[in-house]
Amino acid sequence: MKRYSVFAIAREALRHHSGWDRAWASPEPRASYDVVIVGAGGHGLATAYYLGKNFGITNVAVIEKGWLGGGNTGRNTTIIRSNYLQDPSAAIYEKARSLYETLSQDLNYNVMFSPRGVMMLAQTHHEVRGYLRTAHANALQGVATEFITPQRVKELCPIMNIDGPRYPVLGALWQPRGGTARHDAVAWGYARACSAMGMHIIQQCEVKGVRSEGGAVTGVETTKGFIGCNKLGIVVAGHSGQVADMAGFRLPVEAVALQALVSEPIKPCMDVVVMANTVHGYMSQSDKGEMVIGGGTDGFNNFTQRGSFHHIEETLRALVETFPMLSRLKMLRQWGGIVDMTGDRSPIISKTPLGNCFINCGWGTGGFKAIPGSGWAMAELMAKGEPGPLARDFNLWRFREGQFIDESVAAGVAH
Amino acid sequence: MSTRLASGGRLIDRKTTQKFTFNGTWLSGFSGDTLASALLANDQMLVGRSFKYHRPRGILASGPEEPNALVNLGRDDRLEPNQRTTTTPLFDGLQATSQNHWPSLEFDIGVVNNYAARFLPAGFYYKTFIHPRAAWKHLFEPVIRKSAGLGRAPKDRDADRYEQAYAFCDVLVVGGGIAGLQAALSAGRRGDRVILLEQAAHWGGRAPVDGDAVGGMAAGDWLTAALEELHALPNVTLRAACTATGVYDHGYVLAAESLADATPGDGRPRQRLWRIRAGRIVTATGAIERPLSFAGNDIPGVMLAAAMRDYVVNHAVSPGDRTVIVTNNDDAYRTALVLRDAGLAVPVILDARPAPAGPLVEAARARGIRIEAGRAIAKVQGGKRVTGVQICLQAGEGAVLEEISCDAVAMSGGWSPVVHLWSHCGGKLNWDDRLSAFLPDPARPPLNHDGRAMVTPAGAAAGIFEPDAILTSGEVAGADPDSLGEVQDELLARQSVVVPPVWVMPQGARADLRAKMWLDFQNDVKVSDVQLAAREGYESVEHTKRYTTLGMATDQGKLSNINGLAVLAQALGEDIPQVGTTTFRPPYTPVTLGTLAGEARGEIFQPLRRTPVHGWHESHGAYFEPVGLWRRPYCYPRSGESHADAVKREVLNTRAGLGLLDASTLGKIIVKGPDAGRFLDMLYTNMMSTLPVGKCRYGLMCNEQGFLSDDGVVARLDEDTWLCHTTSGGADRIHGWMEDWLQCEWWDWKVYTANLTEHYAQIAVVGPKARALLEKLGGMDVSKEALPFMAWSEGSLAGIPARAFRISFSGELSYEIAVPASQGLAFWEACLAAGAEFGISPYGTEALHVMRAEKGFIMIGDETDGTVTPLDLGLAWAVSKKKADFLGKRGMERNHLSSPDRWQLVGFETLDGSVIPDGAYILAEGSNDNGQRNVQGRVTSTYYSPTLKHGIAMGLLHHGPSRMGEVVEFNKTDGGTVKARVADPVFYDKTGEKQNV
């Protein structure tokens, strides 16, 4: 792998950029691998990367039904934060956030992590108490957050109307080291690094069945033939239910479409990420200048990645009210992504009823921010066969035991 | 130069001059001009700067596909960035400024990017700016952000308003060209309810400009007749200046109508959003001309051929004096003819085809226009304006044969049917080799709820370009969509239009030329960038798009996508259909966010629910807090009084004398029917069927997981009727929850529910003097004997029909009086008048909270958060052990919920009398495996108690009830701690003698 740097660009510029290598190879699958990971989204690729980096396991294939990074990794609103309430959540999201801090250097690929700060507005007294609780929890979890005044909110985000007649801003939970990153680059950066370690990323390869023997997985049937493996990781977000079904077990997840949109690009006007749960909306400005806006989830289960209108309308009402200057901007594009929601809105990183088969799913509306931490924890689980401290609480059996990690307590909307 | 022609201009009115400014200079145009045509008439071809390289850019198109000529329109509270000049009607006083440059449009420092373009290929930012780590946030990102973006960010609140409307029809026809008009006619004649939408302000599409005969008549005559008939049909609605922006499931279509864009401040809404539910949709959306990819194709003066003829015919504007035409198809010859007829020079037509032929070619030849076959443009010369072209062989590598001076270039690379609306909901496309374009595949349409085709394409949107064939296609699409596939195939086979693929010009262009061939003009994506992406393995069309930003500009690839993916296909050695397209997403053209948000702003941002006493609260200085859609008085501060002091006063006054609370927001749900008792026994954790008529019972509801979700007092009104009080915030949710179970699970149970929350005002009369007040109001026996604690009775008070519930949420003697909503205010005022002698004073929600906390009553949302069971809160007495089942019973039996190790409710008193901070956790020894400090509980409610004169709190503590008297430590966010003693959560009147008098 040729290293990326400003010098490399200068060198290539002289020969019209004809000498750049492929970012990742496009090999035909081998008959078998030590590890097969289904799903070349951020979580699947990060799992592969940390299997190699942390455990030296590089005989790995990551297989992907479509194109890598084409699911929720490439269609989210790129928010990164770790100001979660429950201990297990705060641990894994903070691990992810801290890995994001150095990810560009680790991968030699600029993922543009921008720790510009994330604020979650409190617009009811009840919400104030909720965020104060999160702030107290975060203080003990090693997550740097603080509850800030409306005046400070206004200083950090001057375009906001903090004195709206219906829901004046009463304060906000502020995580200064939260922010955004370039979502595609995260997938591409991991893919390039995996490929450089000799791992195979096999796109346009759909899993059609899971083969097992004596209660343990032996490989997967795919559109490119049977691929054997000693260990299988299922990391397929919205379609987790289907792949789990092939592996012979059921999951407590349901798939719904989450809506998002961007405005036309404008010059910089907003330096932070704002989330407003009472009125249901969140927004940041991309480096390109678009206002990136998250909506809600559709009220019915489905697998189409289509945009629908009703949540967009609700979201835009909230945001135009919160940021009156938005009114004359225009919506450029809207889309949907299929998110896999668990009952407690927390992920599953777990062994499964099938031996040597592991699953990582249920990130719901908040998976992008977790990618490095999720891959780190999943790699540990797959390498050792037992979960480490980051993954332990996110096991599949918690639903049977009632040991939920309920984040809906703290955040009522998608994120 | 560009100038206004002496005659012609079918859309302009030369008698009405309109003055406008561009970058502060006053210019003038005519009524009927677009901003683009008016700028051209004033020789203002240079209009903006591109996104990445800040290259000078001019007007390229004449419609919504324009990528370059975007401006900041208006100013201050009417500033609109990125407004397309090509679709902006000119009006008197219009103010526009160009975008994305500093210090000026003519001299832009940012153009250094252009000179460094070689070092800034697609995706360069992924490969650099990596070290040092802090530099991204503090140095690189701010510079990139500043140089990116296009228009100026508005600062002010929008001065305009927007409205939304609904419409329904059998057939929605999108596009008012001849295909759409014919489709509307044929559907309208059949009696279908038809809505016809056209994005432009005028009808007819390209036909009046292109000049072909339509249905045997001149295009203009046909148009007049068609419009006349359509206007006469009562079942047809026509709406111009209204763009269908998105097709959603089940025939749902959004359309944005421009109302007062050109008459700002006239009092009307600026735009209107239509939400149309259509039985089916005809997309007669036309086609968009494609640019050709030759070096320097972005220099101001290079324009789409059809756009150039639009400006000449519609607006009598000549984009240039000498125009070179470059094309791969016949259609561009029309432009040559139009220019020549207008007296303008056309030095040459460069046709990439080896042997162009056909009537248009012959017509050009007949007028003596020089035609060069098999020729291409090697390079356009010029900087801020075209000065000439270098000619080469299309089949070669770009060796220059000749230079021709000119000030404009008209290019045509063929036409791409507008398939966006077809594709939004899943319609599939076929690649057509003859037209070099994607066409809707009639065999794979988007489906409606009934499995039938939801969208039918017609005319150019289906790849049909000859007028009479267009009419046939419109006719069939309007009246007989089922036979469309067949008819369309036949029409396509019959038509003579052929567009050979010319994706790069010249075919074997050298690298230096490819690095100057623009695909996506606005985002500065060139042929070389797409080729680089392919080389680096970004092979999926989605990867290429995202890596290069091709098609991600404000035109969403209307001009660039097909050319881009053709270049990608070539680079990969694949066929175009194999590479496929990126996903077409709504909206077709960008829609104003204000339009999408509609009227919901300010006070009416969300519906405001008002209790019957709301006006009184407002006029008496209440400080409100939002509770769901309600706003409830938090307290009633007197002049000079802080909120905290007001709360203190309200608590003390109520405890010592008499307080009045507007509790009307409390949920009131009637549950009635033979199975109502059985239903409530399932809903509540405790028994409700055994509640005697005339009595009240406090009840708890859990979700299926076994966690507490709502509470409230249930009153049995008669044998088969119960009145369930819920929390204020929970009323709608609980009513929905009841209906969910009744409709989905227990649909055969005979139970009826009704949410009567707003039918009654409910006033809590609270305090030792409550009974004295009610007796003074008179009309009902409210004595302890007649109306004991947890009973209710009906009668009248102060002459108003009333139901009195003897319940208490404060620990005081308390009655909640429900009166008809219409008499709520009268009753409230009667209480205040009669209560004056008892020192009556209203209190708000915060005093309510403080008093309930003093009494140790739980509050849903404070003590509960969706993870707390009734048993955690010491409410085992309200969870039936006898009932066979209730919602949450099985959930509660799971290991973790029935564990003895759970955190349980206790009270806390701080050692120093201070108030424990909201949200604090109780520290435990050590840390967990993730390095997080261990905790053993948390505070759930914490207040200063005016009654006890120190801080009190409730909270959850591991093994709490067995640890009375123990001292625990709460954390503070500043790192400090607060020590508190574990206590009984009932701080006030533990024996209940105050409330049971």
Contact check, Cβ <8 Å, A287/B51 = no
Give the 3-state secondary structure of residue B513. Answer: helix
- The residue whose two tokens read 């070179």 is B324
pLDDT 10s digits, B157-197: 999 999 999 999 999 999 999 999 999 999 999 999 999 99
Structural tokens at position A412: 């009522």
- Mean pLDDT across the stretch B801-805? 98
Contact check, Cβ <8 Å, A8/B918 = no
- Residues 128-187 on B with a CB inside 8 Å of A are 128-131, 133, 136-137, 141-142, 144-146, 148-158, 160, 162
Closest alpha carbon within chain B to A183: B546
Check residue A411 and give its pLDDT. Answer: 42
Contact check, Cβ <8 Å, B930/A389 = yes
Query: Looking at beta carbons, which residues of chain A come within 8 Å of B141?
Result: 112, 114, 287
Domain ranges of chain A: 29-109+182-252+344-401, 118-178+255-342
Q: What 3 state SS string does A363-391 have? A: CCCCCHHHHHHHHHHHHHHHHHCCCCCCC
Tell me, what DSSP letter sits at residue B787? S
d(CA B804, CA B415): 76
The minimal CB distance from B935 to the residues A124, A132, A140 is found for: A140
Query: Across-strand partners of B248?
Result: B252
Contact check, Cβ <8 Å, B128/A5 = yes
Query: Across-strand partners of B244?
Result: B255
Contact check, Cβ <8 Å, A133/B146 = no
d(CA B73, CA A236): 45
pLDDT 10s digits, B377-422: 999 999 999 999 999 999 999 999 999 999 999 999 999 999 999 9
Q: Is the pLDDT of residue A242 over 80?
A: yes
**Cβ contact A45:A191 at 8 Å:** yes
Contact check, Cβ <8 Å, B542/A74 = yes
- Residues 520-539 on B with a CB inside 8 Å of A are 528, 532, 535-539
- Residues 78-97 on B with a CB inside 8 Å of A are 78-82
Q: A29-109+182-252+344-401 adopts what CATH topology?
A: FAD/NAD(P)-binding domain (3.50.50)
| Chain centre distance of CA A328 | 31
Give the 3-state secondary structure of residue B137. Answer: helix
Contact check, Cβ <8 Å, B923/A140 = yes
The minimal CB distance from B128 to the residues A9, A306, A398 is found for: A9
pLDDT 10s digits, B50-72: 999 999 999 999 999 999 999 99
Phi, psi values for residue A278, rounded to 5°: -65, -45
* A118-178+255-342 CATH: 3.30.9.10
Query: Looking at beta carbons, which residues of chain B come within 8 Å of A91?
Result: 930, 932
Q: Is the pLDDT of residue A362 over 90?
A: yes
Structural tokens at position B730: 């929970």
d(CA B276, nearest CA chain A) in Å = 12
Q: Is the pLDDT of residue A415 over 70?
A: no
pLDDT 10s digits, B783-802: 999 999 999 999 999 999 99
d(CA B678, CA B297): 77
Q: Is the pLDDT of residue A413 over 80?
A: no
Does B110 touch chain A if contact means CB atoms closer than 8 Å? no
Check residue B216 and give its pLDDT. Answer: 95
- The residue whose two tokens read 């007949």 is B366
Q: What band does A414 get if pLDDT is binned at 50, 70 and 90?
A: very low
Structural tokens at position B729: 């915030």
Q: Is the pLDDT of residue B485 over 90?
A: no
The length of chain B is 997
* B900-995 CATH: 2.40.30.110
Cβ atoms within 10 Å, residue B365:
15
Does B117 touch chain A if contact means CB atoms closer than 8 Å? no
Structurally, at CATH architecture level, domain B3-128 sits in: Roll (3.10)
- Mutation for testing the A interface, residue in B79, B932, B971, B972 having most A CBs under 10 Å: B932
pLDDT 10s digits, B833-877: 999 999 999 999 999 999 999 999 999 999 999 999 999 999 999
- Mean pLDDT across the stretch B662-667? 97
**Cβ contact B445:B283 at 8 Å:** no
pLDDT, averaged across chain B: 96
Residue A295 makes CB contacts below 8 A (sequence gap 6+) with A258, A259, A260, A261, A281, A311, A312, A314, A315, A414
Q: What distances in angstroms separate CA A214 from CA A33, A37, A211, A218, A356, one per listed residue?
A: 19, 21, 10, 10, 11
**Cβ contact A48:A62 at 8 Å:** yes
Does B932 touch chain A if contact means CB atoms closer than 8 Å? yes
- Mean pLDDT across the stretch A95-117? 97
The minimal CB distance from A331 to the residues B539, B587, B606 is found for: B587
Tell me, what DSSP letter sits at residue A108? T
Q: Is the pLDDT of residue A396 over 50?
A: yes
Closest alpha carbon within chain B to A406: B867
Check residue A409 and give its pLDDT. Answer: 61
Query: Looking at beta carbons, which residues of chain B come within 8 Å of A105?
Result: 130-131, 133
Q: Is the pLDDT of residue A365 over 50?
A: yes
- Mean pLDDT across the stretch B729-739? 96
d(CA A6, nearest CA chain B) in Å = 5
The minimal CB distance from B144 to the residues A20, A134, A287 is found for: A287
Residue B727 makes CB contacts below 8 A (sequence gap 6+) with B666, B667, B710, B711, B712, B860, B861
Structural tokens at position B421: 């609306």
Q: B510-588 adopts what CATH topology?
A: Arc Repressor Mutant, subunit A (1.10.10)
Q: Which CATH superfamily is domain B667-758 in?
A: Aminomethyltransferase beta-barrel domains (3.30.70.1400)
Check residue B147 and give its pLDDT. Answer: 85
Q: Is the pLDDT of residue B322 over 80?
A: yes
Phi, psi values for residue B114, rounded to 5°: -65, -40
Contact check, Cβ <8 Å, B246/A129 = no
Residue B839 makes CB contacts below 8 A (sequence gap 6+) with B653, B656, B657, B658, B769
Does B249 touch chain A if contact means CB atoms closer than 8 Å? yes
> ipTM for the complex?
0.97
Chain A and chain B share a number of CB contacts under 8 A equal to: 346
For Cα atoms B446, B449, B455, give the angle at the middle one, nearest 5 degrees: 30
Q: Which CATH superfamily is domain B614-665+759-852 in?
A: Probable tRNA modification gtpase trme; domain 1 (3.30.1360.120)
Q: Is the pLDDT of residue A412 over 80?
A: no
Residues of chain B with CATH 3.30.70.1400: 667-758
Query: Looking at beta carbons, which residues of chain A come within 8 Å of B598?
Result: 313, 317
Q: List, as one string, the DSSP characters of A164-195.
A: -SSS---EEEEETT-EE--HHHHHHHHHHHHH
Residue B341 makes CB contacts below 8 A (sequence gap 6+) with none
Closest alpha carbon within chain A to B78: A328
Residues of chain B with CATH 2.40.30.110: 900-995
The DSSP element (H or E) to which B10 belongs, if any, is none
Of all residues in chain B, what percent carry a pLDDT higher than 90? Answer: 95
Residues of chain B with CATH 3.10.20.440: 3-128
The DSSP element (H or E) to which A59 belongs, if any, is none
d(CA B14, nearest CA chain A) in Å = 31
Does B572 touch chain A if contact means CB atoms closer than 8 Å? no
Structural tokens at position B125: 């930012």
Highest CATH level, class, for B291-413: alpha beta
Structural tokens at position B475: 């006719």
Alpha helices in A147-269 (DSSP H): 150-156, 183-196, 240-246
Residue B963 makes CB contacts below 8 A (sequence gap 6+) with B906, B957, B982
- Mean pLDDT across the stretch B124-152? 91
Highest CATH level, class, for B160-289+414-499: alpha beta
Q: Sheet containing B70-73: give its strands across.
A: B25-31, B13-22, B94-98, B70-73, B80-84
What is the reported pTM?
0.96
Q: What 3 state SS string does B196-219 have? A: EECCCCCCECCHHHHCCCECCECH
Check residue A310 and give its pLDDT. Answer: 85
Contact check, Cβ <8 Å, B136/A70 = no
**Cβ contact B497:B328 at 8 Å:** no
d(CA B457, nearest CA chain A) in Å = 21
